[in-house]
Amino acid sequence: MKTVFYRVDEKFIHAQFIYGWLPFLNAKIVMGVSEKTANDPESSHAYIEALPAEISASIIRPKEAVKSNIGEYEAERMVVLFSSLQDVLLYFEAGGKIRRLNLGGIYPLPDRKEYLPFIHLTDEEKILVIEMISTGTDIYCQDTPYSEPRELLSILQPKQNLKSGKNE
Protein backbone atom coordinates (compact mmCIF):
# COMPACT_ATOMS: atom_id res chain seq x y z
CA MET A 1 0.00 0.00 0.00
CA LYS A 2 1.17 3.44 -0.78
CA THR A 3 -0.33 6.28 1.21
CA VAL A 4 -0.31 9.18 -1.18
CA PHE A 5 -2.14 11.81 0.81
CA TYR A 6 -2.98 12.71 4.40
CA ARG A 7 -5.75 15.27 4.81
CA VAL A 8 -7.82 16.90 7.54
CA ASP A 9 -11.30 17.97 6.52
CA GLU A 10 -14.12 18.50 8.99
CA LYS A 11 -16.64 17.81 6.24
CA PHE A 12 -14.79 14.50 5.98
CA ILE A 13 -15.95 12.54 2.91
CA HIS A 14 -17.76 15.15 0.83
CA ALA A 15 -18.02 16.45 -2.72
CA GLN A 16 -14.70 18.29 -2.81
CA PHE A 17 -12.95 15.12 -1.72
CA ILE A 18 -14.97 12.66 -3.80
CA TYR A 19 -15.12 14.58 -7.08
CA GLY A 20 -11.89 16.53 -6.69
CA TRP A 21 -9.16 14.80 -4.75
CA LEU A 22 -9.89 11.12 -5.36
CA PRO A 23 -9.71 11.29 -9.16
CA PHE A 24 -6.83 13.75 -8.98
CA LEU A 25 -4.81 11.38 -6.81
CA ASN A 26 -6.05 8.27 -8.59
CA ALA A 27 -6.58 6.74 -5.17
CA LYS A 28 -8.50 3.51 -4.73
CA ILE A 29 -8.58 3.21 -0.97
CA VAL A 30 -9.88 5.66 1.61
CA MET A 31 -9.07 5.26 5.25
CA GLY A 32 -11.35 7.63 7.12
CA VAL A 33 -10.04 8.34 10.59
CA SER A 34 -12.55 9.73 13.05
CA GLU A 35 -13.15 8.93 16.70
CA LYS A 36 -16.63 10.44 16.48
CA THR A 37 -17.80 8.88 13.21
CA ALA A 38 -16.30 5.47 13.90
CA ASN A 39 -18.57 5.35 16.96
CA ASP A 40 -21.65 6.25 14.89
CA PRO A 41 -22.71 3.44 12.50
CA GLU A 42 -25.37 5.54 10.72
CA SER A 43 -22.97 8.35 10.03
CA SER A 44 -20.26 5.93 8.86
CA HIS A 45 -22.77 4.27 6.56
CA ALA A 46 -23.79 7.61 5.01
CA TYR A 47 -20.19 8.66 4.39
CA ILE A 48 -19.14 5.38 2.79
CA GLU A 49 -22.33 5.19 0.74
CA ALA A 50 -21.31 8.46 -0.90
CA LEU A 51 -18.13 7.01 -2.38
CA PRO A 52 -17.93 5.46 -5.86
CA ALA A 53 -18.28 1.68 -5.88
CA GLU A 54 -14.69 1.14 -7.03
CA ILE A 55 -13.32 2.83 -3.92
CA SER A 56 -12.58 0.62 -0.96
CA ALA A 57 -13.25 2.50 2.26
CA SER A 58 -13.34 2.14 5.98
CA ILE A 59 -13.87 4.52 8.87
CA ILE A 60 -11.89 3.69 11.96
CA ARG A 61 -10.59 5.22 15.17
CA PRO A 62 -7.20 6.96 15.19
CA LYS A 63 -5.65 4.26 17.33
CA GLU A 64 -6.80 1.53 14.92
CA ALA A 65 -5.57 3.57 11.97
CA VAL A 66 -1.99 3.40 13.24
CA LYS A 67 -2.18 -0.40 13.20
CA SER A 68 -4.02 -0.56 9.85
CA ASN A 69 -1.69 1.71 7.96
CA ILE A 70 0.60 -1.10 6.89
CA GLY A 71 0.97 -3.71 4.27
CA GLU A 72 -2.47 -4.89 3.24
CA TYR A 73 -2.85 -3.23 -0.15
CA GLU A 74 0.64 -3.29 -1.61
CA ALA A 75 -0.16 -2.00 -5.05
CA GLU A 76 -2.95 0.42 -4.26
CA ARG A 77 -2.88 4.11 -3.62
CA MET A 78 -4.48 5.08 -0.34
CA VAL A 79 -5.71 8.34 1.12
CA VAL A 80 -5.90 8.86 4.87
CA LEU A 81 -8.60 11.36 5.73
CA PHE A 82 -9.02 12.76 9.26
CA SER A 83 -12.25 14.40 10.36
CA SER A 84 -10.57 16.79 12.81
CA LEU A 85 -7.27 18.02 14.17
CA GLN A 86 -8.14 16.17 17.36
CA ASP A 87 -8.14 12.91 15.39
CA VAL A 88 -4.68 13.72 14.04
CA LEU A 89 -3.49 14.34 17.59
CA LEU A 90 -4.88 10.97 18.71
CA TYR A 91 -3.18 9.33 15.73
CA PHE A 92 0.15 10.85 16.74
CA GLU A 93 -0.35 9.90 20.37
CA ALA A 94 -0.92 6.30 19.29
CA GLY A 95 2.42 6.30 17.47
CA GLY A 96 1.35 7.33 13.97
CA LYS A 97 3.63 9.42 11.82
CA ILE A 98 2.86 11.81 8.98
CA ARG A 99 5.52 13.52 6.93
CA ARG A 100 3.23 15.94 5.12
CA LEU A 101 -0.34 16.81 6.07
CA ASN A 102 -2.95 18.69 4.08
CA LEU A 103 -5.38 20.96 5.90
CA GLY A 104 -8.38 21.02 3.62
CA GLY A 105 -11.27 22.32 5.65
CA ILE A 106 -11.55 23.59 9.21
CA TYR A 107 -14.75 25.53 9.49
CA PRO A 108 -15.96 28.58 11.42
CA LEU A 109 -16.94 28.29 15.06
CA PRO A 110 -17.52 31.16 17.48
CA ASP A 111 -14.08 30.86 19.12
CA ARG A 112 -12.15 30.26 15.92
CA LYS A 113 -10.26 32.87 13.92
CA GLU A 114 -10.18 32.80 10.12
CA TYR A 115 -6.74 32.35 8.56
CA LEU A 116 -7.96 31.37 5.11
CA PRO A 117 -11.58 31.06 3.93
CA PHE A 118 -11.35 27.32 4.61
CA ILE A 119 -9.04 27.39 7.62
CA HIS A 120 -10.29 28.55 11.04
CA LEU A 121 -8.48 27.80 14.27
CA THR A 122 -8.88 28.46 17.97
CA ASP A 123 -5.81 29.64 19.85
CA GLU A 124 -5.42 26.12 21.27
CA GLU A 125 -5.62 24.58 17.80
CA LYS A 126 -3.05 27.06 16.56
CA ILE A 127 -0.65 25.93 19.30
CA LEU A 128 -1.43 22.31 18.47
CA VAL A 129 -0.59 22.61 14.77
CA ILE A 130 2.60 24.54 15.55
CA GLU A 131 3.62 21.69 17.86
CA MET A 132 2.90 19.20 15.09
CA ILE A 133 5.12 21.15 12.73
CA SER A 134 7.89 21.42 15.31
CA THR A 135 7.86 17.64 15.74
CA GLY A 136 8.43 16.99 12.08
CA THR A 137 5.15 17.15 10.15
CA ASP A 138 4.98 19.59 7.26
CA ILE A 139 1.50 21.10 7.25
CA TYR A 140 0.08 22.96 4.32
CA CYS A 141 -3.33 24.37 3.42
CA GLN A 142 -5.06 23.51 0.17
CA ASP A 143 -8.79 22.95 -0.23
CA THR A 144 -9.02 21.77 -3.84
CA PRO A 145 -6.51 19.93 -6.07
CA TYR A 146 -5.89 22.81 -8.43
CA SER A 147 -5.70 25.62 -5.88
CA GLU A 148 -2.37 26.96 -4.66
CA PRO A 149 -0.93 25.16 -1.61
CA ARG A 150 0.08 27.46 1.27
CA GLU A 151 2.44 26.41 4.03
CA LEU A 152 0.54 26.71 7.30
CA LEU A 153 3.28 28.63 9.11
CA SER A 154 3.18 31.37 6.51
CA ILE A 155 -0.49 32.06 7.19
CA LEU A 156 -0.21 31.85 10.97
CA GLN A 157 2.42 34.55 11.24
CA PRO A 158 0.92 38.00 11.84
CA LYS A 159 1.03 40.37 8.92
CA GLN A 160 2.69 43.71 9.42
CA ASN A 161 0.61 46.75 8.60
CA LEU A 162 2.91 48.68 6.28
CA LYS A 163 1.41 52.00 7.27
CA SER A 164 1.56 51.67 11.05
CA GLY A 165 4.38 49.14 11.27
CA LYS A 166 2.30 47.13 13.74
CA ASN A 167 1.37 43.49 13.51
CA GLU A 168 -2.23 42.70 12.63
Q: Which is nearer to another protein, 67 or 113 (CB)?
A: 113
Q: What does the per-residue mask of binding to another protein show for 31-60, with x meaning CB under 8 A? A: -----------xx-xxx-xxx---------
* Beta strands 138-141 and 150-151, pairing class: antiparallel
**Least CB distance from residue 68 to another protein, whole Å?**
23
**Least CB distance from residue 6 to another protein, whole Å?**
19
Q: What does the per-residue mask of binding to another protein show for 73-112, with x meaning CB under 8 A? A: ----------------------------------xxx---
Instruction: Please count the residues of this chain forming the interface with another protein, following the rule CB under 8 A.
Output: 19
Using DSSP's 3-state secondary structure scheme, residue 61 falls into coil
Q: Rounded distance, CA 92 to CA 33, Å?
A: 12
**Least CB distance from residue 51 to another protein, whole Å?**
7
Residue 12 found at the interface with another protein (CB under 8 A): yes
Q: Which residues contact 80 (CB under 8 A, 6 or more apart)?
A: 3, 5, 6, 7, 31, 33, 65, 69, 98
**Least CB distance from residue 69 to another protein, whole Å?**
24
Residue 106 host element (H or E): none
103-131 burial by CB neighbour count: b if 16+ within 10 A, else e?
bbbbeeeeebeebeebbbbeeebeebbee
Residue 128 host element (H or E): helix 123-134
Going from the C-alpha of 105 to that of each of 28, 69, 101, 102, 162, the distances in angstroms are 22, 23, 12, 9, 30
Residue 25 found at the interface with another protein (CB under 8 A): no
Q: Which is nearer to another protein, 15 or 70 (CB)?
A: 15
Give the interface segment with another protein, choosing from 11-19, 68-76, 95-103, 123-131 (CB under 8 A): 11-19
Residues at the site binding another protein, with contacts judged by CB under 8 A:
10-15, 18-19, 42-43, 45-47, 49-51, 107-109
